[in-house]
Chains A and B, each alone.
Chain A
Amino acid sequence: MLKIGLTGNIGSGKTLIAKIFSTFGAAVFNSDDEAKLIMKEVRMQKLLIERFGSHILNEENIIDRKLLAQLLFNDKDALNFVNHLIHPLVRQNFKDFCIKHANDPCCIYEAAIIIETSYYKNLDRLILVTAPEKLRIQRVIDRDKINEALVKQRMENQWSEDEKIPFADFVIVNDGIEPLVKQCVDVFNKICAE
């Protein structure tokens, strides 16, 4: 069973590609969903409140993710703190996930930051999803209901696609023109052939 990383910048369409691979029988692990679950754990909430104060809890007494994201955006120390807290747990859960899906052809680790954290070194192959910036901005505006300036602000914190391409084994272009399914079939067949 191969461990495959699936990454791409905001709005590139990672989740859609992951769904296509799941149709082929791949087991998909969404690191973002996993991180959300971890943040809801009581022990994690205690650590975050100790670091940021109780005001990061929302009305339902759980971590306000939007507020936390705002705090992390301008504070690199705080970002490192949270990353060091969450990422090891997410990765541990991925290891457990791989054991659970040992009989599947491959396990896909879907995350926005795989190259930046060098986690790709722990994976057998890396798939990068790319899309034109204009299209990615529009997708995020439609999906998250935020304005263009905020999307661009988020993008600035990510590596560019050109910087990421050298690290990828496969690049899937999700520009709305190139057929996605065909690209995914080709990639999946090549992975399985190995």
Chain B
Amino acid sequence: MKTGIPDNEQPVQDSLMKRFRDQFSIFFVFLVFSSFIWVVIKLSKDFTSTITYNINFKNAPKGRIISGSSDTVINVGLDAKGFTLIKYHFLQKIPVINIDLTGLKIRYYAGKEEGCLPLNDQIQKIASQIGVKRDLVFVSPDTIRFEFLTKYKRQIPVLPQVSYELRPQFMLYDSVQIQPDSIWVFGPEELIDSIQFIYTEQKSFSDLSENQELELRLIKPESNLVSLSENRVKILIPVEKYTERSFELPVNIVNSGTEYALRIFPEKVIVNCLVALKDYNRVDEAMFEAVVTYDSVEMQAATRLKVNLVKYPSFVHIARVEPERIEFILIKSANKP
């Protein structure tokens, strides 16, 4: 193969290129080394630098909520050696500085409650949180202003957002139990008065055939001014297998003994109910009472009286009363005109 370079010039060119590469490598190594030395010398000197921190307020005056503050960040001026500043800037930067409001004086101004906190008084506390001793030279702003609202509390019921589907023949044995069923909500009066319920996170179940016990997170109202006494609640969904039972009951007449005697047809009704298997032997006729009420007004208008089940165990579900309405005859007492 032919190239533009004569065959006898090729080794000379290769030799020159190799020499150049070797010299460049040496140059680069020295360049890096000298730069490093330069940085070390520079960072060994003192600098003044400003670092911005997010701030969090704690120990608000008793019974008050901070509804607003003039600043949410502070700038901290540090006078330190370069190495130390790098540490504060990048290596050990704390996410937030807590500002302690203990002892803050509240003043009333134009119907509002306000407070002023000179940050110079807090310099030592801020320095200790950042981890500096004598390097901290200033804090900006020098004062933070606050607006306060009175803190109210109200007990508000918890509403679980639980949906479920039960397996055939299974039913809810009792209502869904929530522990605690209400919690304390803290915040400005106007806000907490507008809250009817505290909702849980949503959860759904399908084909339930046994008790479900779980912990659900409470959904905090959107406003930052509102806080909750609990973050989670326990939920119990009691589930049992049910079967049908029926009882024949005499129908009692309530408020009889007026000038008319009431005769009812039939005198007995059949109550069909659903009972949990575990309660099957617990339930008997004596736990039920069916009545019709002697009501002359109703009787004038109706041909049948409604049978009311006035007593039955709380742990059964009444499926139907047969018949639901019964017929009657009013018999005038013999001694009445």
A-B complex is real: yes
Cβ-defined contact, B331 with A23, below 8 A = yes
Q: Which residues of A contact B248 (CB under 8 A)?
A: 143
Interface flag for B265 (CB, 8 Å): yes
Write the nearest CB–CB distance from B55 to chain A, whole angstroms.
76
Q: In the complex the two chains form, what is the Cα distance from A138 to B272 in whole Å?
A: 12
Write out, one digit per residue, whether chain B residues 270-287 have a CB within 8 A of any chain A CB (1) or not (0).
Answer: 101000000000000000
Cβ-defined contact, B329 with A176, below 8 A = no
Q: Which residues of B contact A186 (CB under 8 A)?
A: none
Write the nearest CB–CB distance from A165 to chain B, whole angstroms.
23
Question: Contacts A176-B323, A179-B304, A180-B265: A23 and B270 contacting too (C-beta < 8 A)?
Answer: no
Interface flag for B179 (CB, 8 Å): no
Q: Which residues of A contact B246 (CB under 8 A)?
A: 142, 145
Query: In chain A between 161 and 194, which residues have their CB closer than 8 angstroms to a CB of chain B?
Result: 176, 179-182
**Chain B residue nearest to A178 in the complex (CB):** B303
Write the nearest CB–CB distance from B178 to chain A, whole angstroms.
39
Q: Which residues of B contact A16 (CB under 8 A)?
A: 265-266
Give the bracket for the number of chain B residues in contact with chain A.
Answer: 10 to 19
- Picked from A20, A142, A143, the residue with its CB within 8 Å of the CB of B329 is A20
Interface flag for B298 (CB, 8 Å): no
- Picked from B272, B303, B323, B331, the residue with its CB within 8 Å of the CB of A182 is B303
Residue among B267, B272, B303, B328 with most chain A CB within 10 A: B303
Write the nearest CB–CB distance from A108 to chain B, whole angstroms.
15
Interface flag for B263 (CB, 8 Å): yes
Q: In the complex the two chains form, what is the Cα distance from A145 to B247 in whole Å?
A: 10
Q: Which residues of B contact A182 (CB under 8 A)?
A: 303
Cβ-defined contact, B263 with A23, below 8 A = yes
Give the bracket for the number of chain A residues in contact with chain B.
Answer: 10 to 19
Q: Binding site of A, secondary structure by majority: helix, strand, loop or mixed?
A: helix
Question: Contacts A20-B265, A142-B322, A176-B323: A181 and B272 contacting too (C-beta < 8 A)?
Answer: no
Cβ-defined contact, B329 with A181, below 8 A = yes
Query: In chain B between 232 and 250, which residues have their CB closer than 8 angstroms to a CB of chain A?
Result: 246, 248
**Chain A residue nearest to B272 in the complex (CB):** A142
Q: In the complex the two chains form, what is the Cα distance from A23 to B270 in whole Å?
A: 22
Q: In the complex the two chains form, what is the Cα distance from A176 to B321 in whole Å?
A: 13
Write the nearest CB–CB distance from A96 to chain B, whole angstroms.
28
Cβ-defined contact, A180 with B327, below 8 A = yes
Cβ-defined contact, A19 with B270, below 8 A = no
- Picked from A19, A20, A176, A181, the residue with its CB within 8 Å of the CB of B303 is A181
**Chain B residue nearest to A138 in the complex (CB):** B322
Residue among A19, A138, A142, A179 with most chain B CB within 10 A: A142
Cβ-defined contact, B327 with A19, below 8 A = no
Query: In chain B between 27 and 80, which residues have their CB closer than 8 angstroms to a CB of chain A?
Result: none
Write the nearest CB–CB distance from A187 to chain B, whole angstroms.
14
Write the nearest CB–CB distance from A98 to chain B, whole angstroms.
24
Q: Which residues of B contact A23 (CB under 8 A)?
A: 263, 329, 331
Write the nearest CB–CB distance from B26 to chain A, whole angstroms.
105
Q: In the complex the two chains form, what is the Cα distance from A181 to B248 in whole Å?
A: 22
Cβ-defined contact, A181 with B265, below 8 A = yes
> Shortest 4 CB-CB distances between A and B: which pairs?
A179-B303, A142-B270, A181-B327, A180-B327
Identify 26 residue pairs between A and B in the complex whose beta-carbon atoms are under 8 Å apart, listed by A's number.
A16-B265, A19-B265, A19-B266, A19-B267, A20-B327, A20-B329, A23-B263, A23-B329, A23-B331, A138-B322, A139-B322, A142-B270, A142-B272, A143-B270, A145-B246, A176-B323, A179-B303, A179-B304, A180-B265, A180-B327, A181-B265, A181-B303, A181-B327, A181-B328, A181-B329, A182-B303
Question: Interface on B for A, CB 8 Å cutoff?
Answer: 246, 248, 263, 265-267, 270, 272, 303-304, 322-323, 327-329, 331
Question: Interface on A for B, CB 8 Å cutoff?
Answer: 16, 19-20, 23, 138-139, 142-143, 145, 176, 179-182
